[in-house]
Structure 1
Amino acid sequence: MGVMQQQKEHQRVELTGIERLNLRVSNMINHPVAQIQRWVTIHRLDTDGEREWEEVMGLLSETDGIDMIFNDDESVTLKWEASTDEDRPVEVCESVEEAAPF
C-alpha cells in the first residue's frame, strides 16, 4: 500500500450528527417505495441527538405539502400528496433531425 493511499484513509471526513440524520431522512423520503405509497415513518435512533432530531423535525414541519404525525413510540410519519404534472421535472428529449425528403 502506497504512502498516498494510507494518507487518504487517515483523512476520512466524518459526517456530523445533523448531516447523518438529514441524509438518512432524505434517503427514506426518496426511496421508491415511499414515493409510491407517499408516506414514510422515521424512527429516532439512539445515535440521533436531541438537538439534531429537533432541528430536522423543525425543517420538515416548515416544508409545504408534508403532513407530520408524531407517533407514541417517538417515531414520526410523514405523508404527502402526489405531485401534479406542473410540479414534476421536465424531461429533456433531444430531437433527431431527419434529412429533408427533397
Structure 2
Amino acid sequence: MPATDADRTRIEAQIALIPRLRGTGPNPFEYDQWDARTVEVLTAAFGAESDEVARYQRDVGEAGRVAGVRGNAANMTLNIHGKWGILERLERAESLLRELAG
C-alpha cells in the first residue's frame, strides 16, 4: 500500500533525525531508540508483513551484530564503523527512507 501524506511526514521526521544521530557519536542507545521508532513508523505506514518493512530489516536490521561482543544491552553491541556499524546503517537507512518517502 502506498504511503499517505501523514506517513511521508513521519518518515521524513525520522530522516531529519539522522544528522543529529551522526553528530552524537553516534550513541548506540539513541540509535536503538531511533531504529525502534523507524520500524514503528514503517509498520504503521506499510504493514508488519510488507516488503518495505522487510527491506528495512534486511538493509538496516540487526544481522551484523558480532557474537561475543559484550555490553549491558543488545543495542550496546553495535560498532560505530564497518559495514554493520551504526554509521553505515544510518547511510543505508537514509537512502531507503528517502525512497519510501517519495
Structure with a larger share of its residues in strand: 1
**Structure number with bigger Rg:** 1
- Higher RCO, 1 vs 2 (CA within 8 Å, ≥6 residues apart): 2
Structure with a larger share of its residues in helix: 2
TM-score (normalised: structure 2):
0.33
TM-score (normalised: structure 1):
0.33
